[in-house]
Structure 1
Amino acid sequence: MPPIGDIELMDMHAHPHGEGDYIILSVQPRRITAFLEKRAEMEAAARSVSGLASMLAHEIKNPLSGIRGAAQLMARAQDSKNVRLTELIVKEVDRIKGLVDELETFSSPHAHTNEAVNIHEVLDHVLSVAVAGFAAKCSFRPRFDPSLPPVFGNYDRLVQVFLNLVKNAVEAAGPTADITITTAYKHGIWLTSRSGERIRLPVEVTVQDNGPGIPTHLRGHLFDPFVSGKEGGTGLGLALVARYVSDMEGTVTCDNHPQGGAHFKVQLALEEDMRRDEN
């Protein structure tokens, strides 16, 4: 038996042609080594965020509280010009505190329960939120496989994962972005869980945009904390995605699509498989 790094996976896609008289099959090989390497990068990013957050959150919040209080006291004794400066200090302190609050999300214990989740209920909710707010002018192309069984995960965190991915796609492609979200069942993806047991990740959710794609200098680092290709971005959104997906024993990867734009793939386990492993 060859080592796992030499195993080659084949993606097979069926496309109806014409009036449905015949079907075109496309077979695309892919190396499992690259897939495993990207998963390792994603998990390493999740661990680095957790360690960084637990170290910084408490130490930063204490001096911030003192700075904010001092600025408010100064504002009471200043003229209107200097009051604006103290208000600026308070505003910036609050902005930093918001960043620290995001960091604490990563260092919090894994208190969320993973269970059976209908992935399409998650995606429908995410699209409803997006269309009602930041993606009101965008075009969405949902291509869902309605036969998919429940995945292993947490509903709220899955909503956060795909909301971040959709928002990232919209910001990359612009306010009139054209985004395709696909769900599919994929055979042949088996990975080792934290407990050492092999699990399969057959449910694949892809978020593809029509933006400029991932810059070369950011490839391999998108899931690292504080790495962002957007002006003013915190670089925590995709790190949060990596952390949550890893907690659900899944994996997330990203690449540029041959036809343009970026596409993110989230691989998730089946709830029935995880329940069977526990019994």
Structure 2
Amino acid sequence: MSGSNPAAGSNGLAMAVLNAIQNPVILVDAAGHIAFANWEAEAFFGASASHLSRYRISTFIPFGSPLLALIDQVRERRAPVNEYRVDLSSPRLGQDKLVDLYVAPVVSEPGSVVVVFQERSMADKIDRQLTHRAAARSVTGLASMLAHEIKNPLSGIRGAAQLLESSVQDDDRALTRLICDETDRIVSLVDRMEVFSDERPVDRLPINIHSVLDHVKAIAQAGFARNIKITESYDPSLPPVFANRDQLVQVFLNLVKNAAEAVGDRTDGEIQLTTAYRPGIRLSVAGSREKISLPLEFCVHDNGPGVPTDLLPHLFDPFITTKTNGSGLGLALVAKIIGAHGGIVECDSQASRTTFRVLMPVSKVPGPDDIGTPRPTGSNA
């Protein structure tokens, strides 16, 4: 009578657990070879586990990387070590590969160590997402208060100014008109802030993002961006996004308008709209235990002067703006809308290259606007 092999079952379970971890995990043996890599590690290094196992870890990371010293340190001390914000950027791994590292010895395999990578870009995205949601909630309370406490008195002030206008001299009529105009401007600002207090559920459907971007482009080229070159680089196989079409139009119209204002009157000014599929980012959504994947990447690029470095971390906070007459609510509203869809919006900026990047989930419901067949979450395609 044949029996089951407990060791084989244990190994299978261990593999399943390691592959379920959303961080790259590798095992480096005593000779420095990558003896094991989970699925996330394959995506991180851009190679299969069997390919990785043929080479030393030093083949895949930059020369003189602190990771090599950490591995030697763990072998010597036989104790785990953490290192934060280690730069592994290279032509092989790509740019902006900033990671936190956890390196630990494997007791049963002398000389072998386990390395866990936590990509800082992912951690920073999560931190920014939570910050943007908190900022939107603070503006929500402020908007509700302003709507009740300011709009009613303003209505009375405007009415009184209109009555005075009919009885004052021509020289003073300009002052009454100024009162009315400034009152209308304040009411308009409060109306814009009232959008933040709208907490109704968002009506969402599977949406073809390319039809949204084409609509935004047509509006821009007919108006504020008529003299600016707008190009596209789309992934034609992109699956639909689960979103509200009107709100997506509002988001990207705001981002394209900001890009057009950044470009200004420069003769070589250009705005580029791009879409891509980037698996790997997963976030928890408020009110749900489910973690969703955010593989859909929609970007608005411009070649303007860039965002000031000191302003960049606070760009999506309310009342933050670089415009002389700006209210600082446009990008805060963008963050609120994308956050309500379970997505992320972020900005990368340097001289002559600014990118606003929106990451959103794939629609789980097939719709008439489907672009292609949704790819399985977590694929390396």
Q: TM-score range by the shorter chain?
A: 0.7 to 0.9
Deviates more, 1:31-40 or 1:144-153: 31-40
Q: CA 1:110–1:102 in structure 2 vs 1: closer, same or farther (change >3 Å)?
A: same
Aligned partners of 2:206 and 2:365 also within 8 Å? no
Cα deviation code 1:81-120 (max 9, x no counterpart)? 1011000100110011110110111112324301111100
Identity rate of aligned residues, in percent?
Answer: 49
Residues 24 and 44, structure 2, Cα contact 8 Å, conserved in 1 = no
> Following TM superposition, by how much is the alpha carbon of 1:5 offset from its aligned partner in structure 2, in angstroms?
11
State the TM-score, normalized to the length of structure 2: 0.65
Displacement of 1:25 in angstroms is 7.7
Which residue matches 2:200?
Answer: 110
Q: Which runs of 5+ in 2 are unaligned?
A: 1-17, 26-39, 47-90, 99-119, 368-381
Q: 1:213 touches 1:261 (CA, 8 Å); kept in 2?
A: yes
Number of matched pairs: 263
Pairing of 1:56-135 with structure 2 (within 5 A): 56-135=146-225
With over 3 angstroms needed to count, the CA separation of the structure-2 counterparts of 1:5 and 1:88, relative to structure 1, is: farther
Aligned to 1:27: 94
Alignment-derived partner of residue 246 in structure 1 = 339
**Counterpart secondary structure, 2:161:** helix
Q: Cα 1:147–1:25, aligned 2, differ >3 Å: closer, same or farther?
A: farther
- Structure 2 match to 1:213: 306
For structure 1, which segment, 41-50 or 81-90, has the greater mean C-alpha deviation from structure 2 after superposition?
41-50
State the match for 1:222 in structure 2: 315
Judging changes above 3 Å, is the alpha-carbon distance between structure 1 residues 175 and 41 closer, same or farther for their aligned structure 2 residues?
farther
1:266 is matched with 358
Q: Which residue of 1 aligns with 2:126?
A: 36
Alignment partner, residue 234 of structure 2: 144
Corresponding residue of 1:19: none
Q: Distance in 2 between matches of 1:133 and 1:43?
A: 32
Could you say what secondary structure the match of 2:251 adopts? helix
* Relative contact order higher in (CA < 8 Å, ≥ 6 apart): 1
Q: Counterpart amino acid of 1:121?
A: S
**Whole-Å separation in 2 of the counterparts to 1:233 and 1:274:** 40
C-alpha distance in structure 1 between counterparts of 2:279 and 2:355, whole Å: 20
Q: 1:10 to 1:133 in 2, by over 3 A?
A: farther
In 1: Cα distance, 2:156 partner to 2:235 partner: 54
CA distance in 1, matches of 2:343, 2:159: 43
SS at match of 1:217: coil
SS in 1 for 2:274: strand
**CA deviation profile, 1:181-224 (whole Å, cap 9, x unmatched):** 11000011111111121000110011111111110221111111
Pairwise CA distance, 1:150: 0.6
Q: CA–CA distance in 2 between the matches of 1:83 and 1:200? A: 60
For the 8 Å contact 1:46–1:246, the answer to whether it is kept is: no
SS of the aligned residue for 1:188 comes to coil
Report the CA distance between 1:4 and its aligned residue.
Answer: 6.0
Structure 1 or 2: larger helix share? 1
- Give secondary structure in 1 for the equivalent of 2:239: coil
Cα distance, 1:189–1:78 mapped onto 2, change above 3 Å:
same
Q: Aligned partners of 2:247, 2:239: CA distance in 1, in Å? A: 18
Distance 2:44 2:181 in 1: 53
Compute the RMSD of aligned alpha carbons.
2.5
C-alpha separation between the residues in 1 aligned to 2:160 and 2:309?
Answer: 45
Q: Secondary structure at 2:190's aligned position in 1?
A: helix
My pick for the range that moved more, 167-176 or 218-227, is 167-176
Structure 2 equivalent of residue 51 of structure 1: 141
Which of 263, 288, 291 is matched with 1:198 structurally? Answer: 291
Deviations 1:96-145 (A, max 9, x none): 11101101111123243011111001000000000000000001121011
Q: What is the CA–CA distance in structure 2 between the aligned matches of 1:48 and 1:73, rounded to whole Å?
A: 37
